[in-house]
Amino acid sequence: MQTLGMPHGTLSLFYIFHFYLFGLIGVISALLFVTRKSPVAAALWLVSTMFCLAAMYILLDAQFIGAVQVLVYAGAIMVVFLFVIMLLNLGQGEGIDVRGVGWKIVAGAIGLGILAQVFALTRAKTPVNLTLPQGYAAEQVAQHGAVAPIAAPLFNEYLLAFEVTSILLLAAIVGAVLLGKQKEARDVA
Amino acid sequence: MLPEALFFSAVLFVIGVFGVLIRRNAIIVFMCVELMLNAVNLTFIAFAQVYGVAGQVFVFFVMTVAAAEAAVGLAIIIALFRHRQTVNLQNINLLKG
Amino acid sequence: MLPLLQAAAAGTHPLQGTAASWLWAVPLLPFLGFLINGAFSIVSAYHAGPADPTLAHGDGHGDRHGTHDEEHGAHGDDHHQVKRHPFAMLTSIVGPGVLLLSFILTAAIFFAMHGAGEIATPFIQRYFSWMPVGDLKLDAAFQLDQLSMMMMLVITGVGTLIHFFSVGYMQDDPGYPRYFAYLNLFVFFMLLLVLGANFPVMFIGWEGVGTCSYLLIGFWFSDKANADAGKKAFIVNRIGDFGFLIAMFLLFANLGTLDFDAVRAASTSLQFGGALVTAICLFLFLGCAGKSAQIPLYVWLPDAMAGPTPVSALIHAATMVTAGVYLIARTGFLFSIAPVAQIVVVMIGALTAIFAASIGLKQWDIKKVLAYSTVSQLGYMFVGVGSGAYVAGVFHLVTHAFFKALLFLGSGSVIFAMHEAYHHTGSHEDAQDMRNMGGLRAYMPWTWALMWIATLAISGVPPFAGFFSKDEILGGVFARAQHSTIADAHLFGISGSAWLYFAYLLGIVAAFMTATYMTRMMIYTFHGPNRTGDKEREHLHDAPWIMTGPLLVLGILTLAGGWINIPEFARFLGPVGALERWLDPVVGASTQRVIAGAAETSPGLEYGLVGLAVLIAIGGIAYAATRLDPKSLVPKREAVPEEGFEKVLLDKYYVDEIYDAAVVTPVVGTSRGLLWRGVDAGLIDGLAVNGSALFARFVGWIGSQLQSGQLGTYAWVLVIGVLCVLGAVTIR
């Protein structure tokens, strides 16, 4: 684990190579995702992007989140998406849902515009006095493991938010069930 | 690695926006939104490396909310499909004022 | 009950801890009465449901009630059945009771004040901070000084008597508790007016009495003429209130305070005779002209006689209409440094006095005669306070309150008797027209005697009250015409001295007319043959004691009231100038400033003036007595219409018609033609209201076009919005 992280001071070429690799694969997968006509293909390309992101999280010393990304996003959420796509039988015959070339060009221009603006905004200097010493996160992981550094704040400072989130999930489950059952309920009524 | 992570994050986010703009399939638009959320998560993780673990905690919450959102959103789409027999946004204009 | 935040002068005032500490209770008692009687009225109205016409008009032949305002009377009368108000008994106790308590408390405060000796500064009670806005710091505060003390005595004293009279006069009225509620409320506001320690508190009272006046003039509101009279009084008074408000604004803008005490202190910084102080005084006087019925705003007062007669006595003769006189006396420190304003006040007062007196000469309605007489006497008071003879003006206010209340209540008794008589026979004659009276002396001896006392008093015959006060005013004007700051001032290029001599002349002539029209009224009402009708005659008699009793007390006061300020030449009657010494801390300095240290008028001249006044009074009475022949008078329905100048007088110089043509008609025309059809219907309704509705609908239509329901479109718009916002942040 520690070798993947940032060794004190310098970054290994190995590390940098993999970061760019996963980044590029992720971006390409994402581009394919938005351009595939078939929803199933699109969803699968998105899964690919998710995996790349998980890898990048791990490279950024967030091993726990990386694991969760694979479990929750790539595993659970995307499976649900695929499940719904297949349930509704959207594989084909829905007609082309992608807009025409003109729309794409304008949308691309807007996208590039936003990108340019975001880059312009990142010229701002990061506040130095808040910055942790380099390699601090990796050290934490080395000392306490991958889960403890995130578990400690989650169950101390953010305990209330954590509990509220559980209620949110409960509400979402109830809501989803209600929405899914709505037609039958109306029929019964 | 912060600048590189932010670069990829921004690119992924813009791809998500692009997807929202050019797609009409409700589920794909929804997935594009998920992509945008993921792009933001990458930003959080990258900053967490520099500013402390709170960013990771935040990603944790975003994921939770995204899961809830996916559950409710997909349920809505299913209900919508039952009603209209389509998920093409062009054919759905329930919000027309 | 009221938290006493801070007592004046931190407990060092000599009145601290005496009965004067209960000052707040004096107005509060009538207010309590108002609440209780009002509750009676509301509760009974709630239980009675919709008005029963036989109840509302008590006497069952209600087609002509508009012409006489006294509708109810007749005790133990089988002609019709009067239904008394279910709470009549309680109201009869509460209504006058609170006033009596209030008067007793006032008297206690008076004795405390009298016993405390010379009190140079007013006793101010601050209850709570009312309007602390920026520089404006107003307290709900009462101020007790010699002037407000005297006003309180008059208001509660005369008020109590009139309340008792009302018990007899009104108790068969279906709105009996409502009547007393209004009357109590009036007394509360009147006390607020005289006790207020700053202009706004006084203004609350000022407006409050106006409201009560409106409510009581239109007391029998089911008759449109009465309701209209109430509205007229209210609207005309608004013009005056506008002046009052402007004066307050000017005072605050220039002196930064509205407390009487502080304004008095700050007024020394004002330039003598300057434009500012003159403007303030003139605007104040505009307020006075409205409230106290002076030219050109007097027109509401005669119409105000539509109210019940005790109301006319209390509000429209004794107290409310004298508020203007009180205001000028209260702000004498301002008027005394504005000689031009003083000339205006004196001239308006003198012109009003003679103008109203001349109208009074030819009126047939007994209450109208008294109404114009009131206007005329108020003119005298303004001549007094206007010429800086504050004591004389206020003195006349007091004596006038006595004798005019007596006259009004006496006329009330007469009308009461007349109405009752006509009621018995079912006749629809006018119970207020003097042509239908005559020879009432034989039937109502008490009323006759008491009203003669009042008539002699108002005419200025010694030793009745009016003689002293009127003589003091005229003497004061004459003295100031010879030498004073007013005499040195100029208005329209004419010296103040000339104006004052002219005012004196007008006053003398008006005094002659006063004696004449009052004697005329007495002769036509009480002397000569009776013209009421053969059947009705046997029903005429004096009013019950609950009504005659107050008359008697007022008669005594009219007889002896003048002795509170005995002039030098009549020192054998008692201590000279008691009132003058009493009021000296309030108005003494202002008076001195006006007369500017001039010597007293010589005794010879003074005797001459007094002699002339007496001669004029007796001359007027004699003139009326010799020239008028009550035997030749015929009842109203047989009377021939007047012609020539008599008709002009009877029709009150057509002032109402002139106002109608000059003000009301153009205003109504402009309102209808331009403001209603043009501005309101065209511009406001058409362009503004419907136009903005159309515009909103148009904008809404555009907005609704954006609401396509297309999620894709929304996303595009959102993203472009993000682009713009980010762009704005980036560029900056």
Go through the domains of chain B in sequence order and give each one's CATH number: 2-91 (1.10.287.3510)
Are A59 and A10 within one domain? Answer: yes
Interface of C with A in 703-722 (CB under 8 A): 712, 719-720, 722
Burial class (CB in 10 A: 0-12, 13-18, 19+), A25: middle
Are A6 and A89 within one domain? Answer: yes
User: Which one of C711, C713, C716 would you mutate to disrupt binding with B, by most B Cβ within 10 Å of its Cβ?
Assistant: C711
CB spacing of C726 vs A110 below 8 angstroms: no
Residue A16 belongs to some domain of the structure: yes
Model pLDDT for residues C650-700, shown as the tens digit of each residue = 777 777 778 778 777 888 888 777 777 777 777 888 788 888 889 999 998
C729 touches chain A (CB under 8 A): yes
For residue B62, list chain A residues with Cβ-Cβ distance below 8 A. Answer: none
Model pLDDT for residues C303-321, shown as the tens digit of each residue = 888 888 888 888 888 888 8
A27 touches chain C (CB under 8 A): no
In sign, the C-alpha dihedral spanning C621, C626, C630, C632 is negative
> Residue A64: which residues within 8 A CB-CB, separation 6 or more?
A146, A147, A150, B56
For residue A154, list chain B residues with Cβ-Cβ distance below 8 A. Answer: 57, 60
Residue among C261, C470, C268 nearest C357 (CA): C470
Paired tokens of C110: 């008076």
For residue A40, list chain B residues with Cβ-Cβ distance below 8 A. Answer: none
Query: Mean pLDDT across chain A, nearest whole number?
Result: 82
CA distance A117 to chain C (A): 6
Paired tokens of C375: 């206007």
| Residue at A116: amino acid letter | A
Other CB atoms within 10 A of residue C702 CB: 9
Which of B17, B24, B96 is nearest residue C712 as measured by Cβ atoms? Answer: B24
pLDDT at site C62 = 34
CB spacing of B89 vs C707 below 8 angstroms: no
Asked if residue C376 lies in contact with residue C514, where contact means CB atoms within 8 angstroms, the answer is yes
Are A53 and A3 within one domain? Answer: yes
Rounded Cα gap, residues C222 and C175, in angstroms = 12
Residue among C179, C162, C161 nearest C170 (CA): C179
Instruction: Give the SS3 label for residue C541.
Output: coil
Which of C334-343, C600-609, C645-654, C723-732 ranks highest by mean pLDDT? Answer: C334-343
Looking at the predicted structure, is the pLDDT value of residue C211 above 50? yes
Instruction: Give the SS3 label for residue C131.
Output: strand
Q: Which residue has the tokens 């910084």?
A: C269
CA distance A11 to chain C (A): 32
CB spacing of C709 vs B92 below 8 angstroms: yes
Asked if residue C343 lies in contact with residue C491, where contact means CB atoms within 8 angstroms, the answer is yes
C174 vs C328 pLDDT, higher one? C328
Rounded Cα gap, residues C54 and C107, in angstroms = 44
Query: Mean pLDDT across chain C, nearest whole number?
Result: 83
CA distance C2 to chain B (A): 59
For residue B50, list chain A residues with Cβ-Cβ distance below 8 A. Answer: 126, 131-132
| Residue at C43: amino acid letter | V
CB spacing of A153 vs B54 below 8 angstroms: yes
Q: What is the DSSP string of C299-361?
A: THHHHGGGS-HHHHHIIIIISGGGHHHHHHHHTHHHHTT-HHHHHHHHHHHHHHHHHHHHHHT
A34 touches chain C (CB under 8 A): no
Looking at the predicted structure, is the pLDDT value of residue C7 above 50? no
Are A41 and A91 within one domain? Answer: yes
pLDDT at site C569 = 74
CB spacing of B29 vs C716 below 8 angstroms: no
Rounded Cα gap, residues C271 and C691, in angstroms = 54
pLDDT at site A189 = 43
Q: Which residue of A has its CA nearest to C718?
A: A110
Q: At what angle do helices C146-170 and C578-595 cross, to 10 degrees?
A: 120
CB spacing of A114 vs C730 below 8 angstroms: no
CB spacing of A114 vs C722 below 8 angstroms: yes
Looking at the predicted structure, is the pLDDT value of residue C450 above 60? yes
Looking at the predicted structure, is the pLDDT value of residue C345 above 80? yes
A120 touches chain C (CB under 8 A): yes
A124 touches chain C (CB under 8 A): no
A110 touches chain C (CB under 8 A): yes
Give mean pLDDT, residues C206-235.
89
pLDDT at site C303 = 87
Which of B12, B48, B60 is nearest residue A27 as measured by Cβ atoms? Answer: B12
C35 vs C12 pLDDT, higher one? C35
Residue among C300, C320, C179 nearest C239 (CA): C300
CB spacing of C727 vs A117 below 8 angstroms: yes
The angle at the Cα of C208, spanning C204 to C214, to the nearest 5 degrees, equals 150
User: Which one of C719, C724, C731, C732 would you mutate to disrupt binding with A, by most A Cβ within 10 Å of its Cβ?
Assistant: C719
For residue C729, list chain A residues with Cβ-Cβ distance below 8 A. Answer: 117, 121
Paired tokens of C241: 């209130």
CB spacing of C723 vs A110 below 8 angstroms: yes
pLDDT along chain A (189 residues), means of 10: 43 87 94 89 93 93 91 89 86 68 90 87 66 76 83 90 92 89 55
Looking at the predicted structure, is the pLDDT value of residue C376 above 60? yes
Are A6 and A88 within one domain? Answer: yes
User: Which one of A96, A99, A115, A117 would you mutate to disrupt binding with C, by most C Cβ within 10 Å of its Cβ?
Assistant: A117
Which of A46, A65, A118 is nearest residue B35 as measured by Cβ atoms? Answer: A46
Distance of CA C241 to the CA centre of its chain: 13
Give mean pLDDT, residues C140-169.
90
Long-range interactions of C462-465: CB distance < 8 A, separation 24+: C462/C570, C462/C614, C463/C559, C463/C562, C463/C570, C463/C573, C464/C403, C464/C558, C464/C559, C464/C562, C465/C399, C465/C402, C465/C403, C465/C557, C465/C558, C465/C559, C465/C560, C465/C561, C465/C562
Going by their DSSP bridges, the two strands C136-144 and C490-491 should be labelled as unpaired
- The domain that holds A71 is classified in CATH as 1.20.120.1200
pLDDT at site B8 = 93
Are A41 and A82 within one domain? Answer: yes
pLDDT category of residue C446 using cuts at 50, 70 and 90: confident
Rounded Cα gap, residues C123 and C139, in angstroms = 14
Asked if residue C419 lies in contact with residue C350, where contact means CB atoms within 8 angstroms, the answer is no
Which of B10, B25, B27 is nearest residue A118 as measured by Cβ atoms? Answer: B10
Looking at the predicted structure, is the pLDDT value of residue C5 above 50? no
Rounded Cα gap, residues C419 and C426, in angstroms = 10
Rounded Cα gap, residues C257 and C255, in angstroms = 6
Other CB atoms within 10 A of residue B92 CB: 20
> Residue B86: which residues within 8 A CB-CB, separation 6 or more?
A94, B92
Asked if residue C443 lies in contact with residue C541, where contact means CB atoms within 8 angstroms, the answer is yes
Residue A123 belongs to some domain of the structure: no
Give mean pLDDT, residues C703-712.
78
Paired tokens of C96: 């006058």
CB spacing of B90 vs C712 below 8 angstroms: yes
Give mean pLDDT, residues C27-55.
78
Q: Which residue of B has its CA nearest to A116?
A: B10
CB spacing of A176 vs B12 below 8 angstroms: no
Tally of structural domains, chain A: 2
pLDDT at site A123 = 67
Looking at the predicted structure, is the pLDDT value of residue C148 above 70? yes
Q: Which residue of B has its CA nearest to C711?
A: B89
Which of C712, C719, C726 is nearest residue A117 as measured by Cβ atoms? Answer: C726
Q: Which residue has the tokens 């995307």?
A: A78
C630 vs C167 pLDDT, higher one? C167
Which subunits have 3 or more CB–CB pairs within 8 Å of chain A?
B, C
For residue A113, list chain C residues with Cβ-Cβ distance below 8 A. Answer: 723, 727
CB spacing of B19 vs A126 below 8 angstroms: no
pLDDT category of residue C73 using cuts at 50, 70 and 90: very low
CB spacing of A180 vs B75 below 8 angstroms: yes
* Host domain of residue A25: 1-95+134-146
Torsion angle of the four alpha carbons C270, C272, C276, C282, in this order, in degrees rounded to the nearest 10: 120
Of C88-97, C578-587, C598-607, C616-625, least confident by mean pLDDT is C598-607
Rounded Cα gap, residues C80 and C63, in angstroms = 15
pLDDT category of residue C55 using cuts at 50, 70 and 90: very low
> Residue C292: which residues within 8 A CB-CB, separation 6 or more?
C321, C322, C323, C324, C325, C378, C381, C382
pLDDT at site A183 = 57
Model pLDDT for residues C239-292, shown as the tens digit of each residue = 889 999 999 999 988 888 888 888 888 888 888 888 899 999 999 999 999 898
CA distance B48 to chain C (A): 24
CB spacing of B89 vs C709 below 8 angstroms: no
Rounded Cα gap, residues C261 and C48, in angstroms = 51
Q: Which residue has the tokens 């509708």?
A: C71
For residue A79, list chain B residues with Cβ-Cβ distance below 8 A. Answer: none
Tens digit of each residue's pLDDT, chain B (97 residues) = 788 888 999 999 999 999 999 988 889 999 999 999 999 999 999 988 888 888 899 999 999 999 999 999 999 888 888 888 888 877 777 766 5
> Residue C155: which residues within 8 A CB-CB, separation 6 or more?
C187, C190, C191, C194, C319
Asked if residue A180 lies in contact with residue B79, where contact means CB atoms within 8 angstroms, the answer is yes
Q: ipTM, 2 decimals?
A: 0.91
pLDDT at site C430 = 79
Q: Which residue has the tokens 């309605």?
A: C365
Rounded Cα gap, residues A28 and A48, in angstroms = 10
Are A61 and A36 within one domain? Answer: yes
A118 touches chain C (CB under 8 A): yes
Other CB atoms within 10 A of residue C374 CB: 31
Burial class (CB in 10 A: 0-12, 13-18, 19+), C9: middle
The share of chain C scoring above pLDDT 90, in percent, equals 20
Asked if residue C158 lies in contact with residue C554, where contact means CB atoms within 8 angstroms, the answer is yes
Are A170 and A79 within one domain? Answer: no
Model pLDDT for residues B65-85, shown as the tens digit of each residue = 999 999 999 998 888 888 888
Looking at the predicted structure, is the pLDDT value of residue C128 above 80? yes
Of C14-23, C258-267, C399-408, least confident by mean pLDDT is C14-23
pLDDT category of residue C119 using cuts at 50, 70 and 90: confident
Model pLDDT for residues C170-180, shown as the tens digit of each residue = 878 888 889 99
CB spacing of C726 vs A118 below 8 angstroms: yes
Which of C703, C704, C708 is nearest residue B93 as measured by Cβ atoms? Answer: C708
Asked if residue A36 lies in contact with residue A90, where contact means CB atoms within 8 angstroms, the answer is no
Rounded Cα gap, residues A31 and B35, in angstroms = 11
Rounded Cα gap, residues C421 and A156, in angstroms = 98
Which subunits have 3 or more CB–CB pairs within 8 Å of chain B?
A, C
C725 touches chain A (CB under 8 A): no
Rounded Cα gap, residues C432 and C412, in angstroms = 9
